[in-house]
Chains A and B, each alone.
Chain A
Amino acid sequence: MALPHSIRANPRLKWIGVALIAATLLALPFALASVGTAWVRITNFAILFSLLALGLNIVVGFAGLLDLGYIAFYAVGAYTYALLASPHFNVHLPWWAILPIGAAVACVFGVLLGTPTLKLRGDYLAIVTLGFGEIIRIFLNNLSEPFNLTNGPKGISTIDSIHVMGIDFGNMTRIGGLAVSGTIKYYYFLLAVLVVVIVVNLRLQDSRIGRAWEAIREDELAARSMGINTRNMKLLAFAMGASFGGVAGGMFSAIQGFISPESFVLTESVMVLSMVVLGGMGNVWGVILGAILLSFVPEVLRYTVEPVQRWMFGRALVDPEVIRMLLFGLAMVVMMLFRPAGLLPSALRKRELVAPEDGL
């Protein structure tokens, strides 16, 4: 992370900063709830998407493998949770058992996708992963016969919420005089998971494994010639990324209480990839910034587009949804023109996008 020099030099300042950020994050849901409960929910989804984007960042940002079907792992995690904690099969396992199972199942699917695509790169890999994402969604849509596994397009409902020490995250709890809604509880839960995922990401990046991924991204043949088993390293990237997606999917299931294949369409994959690219591929903080922006901006627009039109023209001329996507696309184009390496580019990407002056 690019810390100002004075902070780096003074560890005490750093800890005060961390404490301030922590306090802000802990107080945040109550502040948001006073504006409107919807904003806490939106924040939860921003964190959920941050988890997804960080997972995809391992595949795209670290190992340089373009994956357009990433949402499939989210779907696998979500369905694993739903099947193991709902009346659908009448199985009700606790969350701490299902989340790891979901991660493991998604990991298997990651390897399943990774194995046949090892020799592909760039556009070709993108096409295959895109197809993979669609296959998973179509399976989810159709696996209601002959054996009803996924309940088809109707989806799975009344999924168990998360319980921690007897506290149900699906309902309001009173702690002293304070009413804590389920959404706020999930906020803290998601925040805790996010912190873990950030630490894992940062540590992986700065390790022997992270360096091997960088080497593969830079020059695969040279990496192999240095003794890096590129096959295993790529599979590892796919598996790790998929596991994070699986955990995020499980949380999604628990929070929503209802899932259907509609939540796992291609646009979602594109959205997560946009977060990674917009924020800055390979930079953990950039990716989180991208996820937060792309989660919040559309919501802000949803609440502003109509009033602004009424104020300007007296009536709503264009559907907010249309404007939203239009502005979204425009923002992406502007970004790519002016900050092609993302809002917070990783040091590595920044270097890559500088025209190589000496032909290497």
Chain B
Amino acid sequence: MASEPLAAAAAPILEVERIGKRFGGLVALTDVSFSIGRGEIYGLIGPNGAGKTTLFNVLTGIYRQDSGAIRFEGAPLANPTPDRIAKLGIARTFQNIRLFANLSALENVMIGRHVRTRAGVVGAVLRDRATRAEEAAIERRARELLRYVGIAERGNELARHLSYGDQRRLEIARALATDPKLLALDEPAAGMNATEKLDLRKLLEAIRRDGTTVLIIEHDVRLVMGLCDRVLVLDYGRNIAEGAPRAIQKDPRVIDAYLGKPREGGTA
């Protein structure tokens, strides 16, 4: 595998080792291994059905892998469930946006703060000073995040009334509300126009600058090439190449995966 030495950071935040996952007779992932360095923007690409979303679902505790191990910040993920993973510091967005559609944008982000706040039933009922302070902090942080992703003025609108691009941004804001160390984005640019994609790229760069590692599944090649430090290519559930975007682009296996094998007689 063509690993770039510069990007193989000293302390990887996420290490994935020989992950395998099958659904009945369908093999979705076979021996997928990679590691993401702290502060990287790491891309995950591959043709449709290559297993990208399955890999995401394994990483975020929705599926359990059949074999292999995942380590986050050096510690193995034992008995992972989605809520434990979020608590550990991996937040995600969904390919088919899953916002709380009938709640306002602000409420969506406030729910993201749940995992980092503490008020229980007693606090909720008594509304003591600490609970009121926490509520105020939750709302303040949620508004801050709406501004950060650029939809500050949309706070009171229902999530489902937002434009497609804004819904994607809101999902990112909601994920950021959980204070993630690793932000995992499943096709965040899908359905966006060119301007929105440019804004998204700026946003993701800002997120990285502010100290969050980013893992991103994306189809838009230009976005991936411009944004990612390293890219992993999946095909039929295997990693076929990993490395800097430029190297990947020229890799014959990647070209084969995307364009099909050349006919006999032709040379790649």
A residues at B contact (CB < 8 Å): 199-200, 203-204, 207-212, 214-215, 218-219, 221-230, 236, 240, 348, 351-352, 356, 358, 360
Contacts and interface: CB of A to CB of B under 8 A. Distances in A.
A222 B86 contact: no
Contact of A221 (B82, B110, B138): B82
B74 to A, nearest CB: 21
Q: Which of B114, B174, B178 lies at the interface centre, i.e. has the most chain A CB atoms within 10 A of its CB?
A: B114
25 contacts: A207-B119, A207-B123, A207-B135, A208-B114, A208-B135, A208-B138, A209-B121, A211-B114, A214-B107, A215-B103, A218-B101, A219-B98, A222-B98, A226-B86, A226-B91, A226-B111, A226-B114, A226-B178, A227-B83, A227-B86, A227-B91, A228-B83, A351-B102, A356-B101, A360-B97
B83 A209 contact: no
Contact of A203 (B98, B110, B124, B174): B124
A214 B124 contact: no
A210 B98 CA distance: 19
Nearest 3 CB-CB pairs, A to B?
Answer: A227-B115, A227-B86, A207-B124
A236 B97 CA distance: 28
Contact of B111 (A199, A228, A229, A356): A228
A204 B124 CA distance: 6
Interface stretch (B8-16, B158-166, B197-205, B235-243): B158-166
A214 B99 contact: no
A226 B174 contact: yes
A193 to B, nearest CB: 15
Contacts of A210: 124
Report the interface size class on chain B: 35 or more
Given A203-B124, A358-B160, A224 B82 contact: yes
Contacts of A224: 81-83, 86
Contacts of A214: 100, 103, 107, 111
A200 B98 contact: no
A199 B125 CA distance: 8
Nearest to A350: B102
Given A219-B98, A222-B94, A227 B87 contact: yes
B62 A209 contact: no
A223 B111 CA distance: 8
Contacts of B99: 219, 222, 360
A356 B160 contact: yes
Contacts of A240: 121
B62 A221 contact: yes
Contact of A352 (B97, B102, B134): B102
B38 interface: no
B124 A360 contact: no
B120 interface: yes
B167 interface: yes
A204 B174 contact: no
Interface of B: 60, 62, 81-83, 86-87, 91-92, 94, 97-103, 107, 110-115, 117, 119-121, 123-125, 127, 131, 134-135, 138, 158-161, 167, 174-175, 177-178
B82 A203 contact: no
Contacts of B161: 358
A285 B89 CA distance: 39
A204 B121 contact: yes
Contacts of B82: 221, 224-225, 227
B107 A226 contact: no
Contact of B92 (A209, A225, A236, A348): A225
Contacts of A219: 98-101
Contacts of A229: 83
A347 to B, nearest CB: 9
Contacts of B98: 219, 221-222, 225
Contacts of A215: 100, 103, 111, 114
Contacts of A222: 94, 98-100
A266 B266 CA distance: 75
Nearest to B117: A208
A219 B159 CA distance: 13
B102 A218 contact: yes
A210 B107 CA distance: 11
Given A228-B111, A356-B101, A200 B125 contact: yes
A4 to B, nearest CB: 20
B159 A360 contact: yes
Nearest to A240: B121
Contacts of A223: 100, 111
A24 B67 CA distance: 69
A224 B125 CA distance: 24
Contact of A226 (B97, B102, B112): B112
Contacts of A199: 125
Contacts of A230: 83
Contacts of B112: 226
A353 to B, nearest CB: 10
Contacts of A209: 119-121, 124
Nearest to A351: B102
B124 A212 contact: no
A215 B100 CA distance: 6
A129 B33 CA distance: 45
Q: Which of A203, A227, A229, A352 lies at the interface centre, i.e. has the most chain B CB atoms within 10 A of its CB?
A: A227
Contacts of B125: 199-200, 203-204
A228 B114 contact: yes
Contacts of A218: 100-103
Contacts of A221: 62, 82, 98
A203 B123 CA distance: 9
A150 to B, nearest CB: 31
Given A218-B102, A221-B82, A226-B111, A360 B87 contact: no
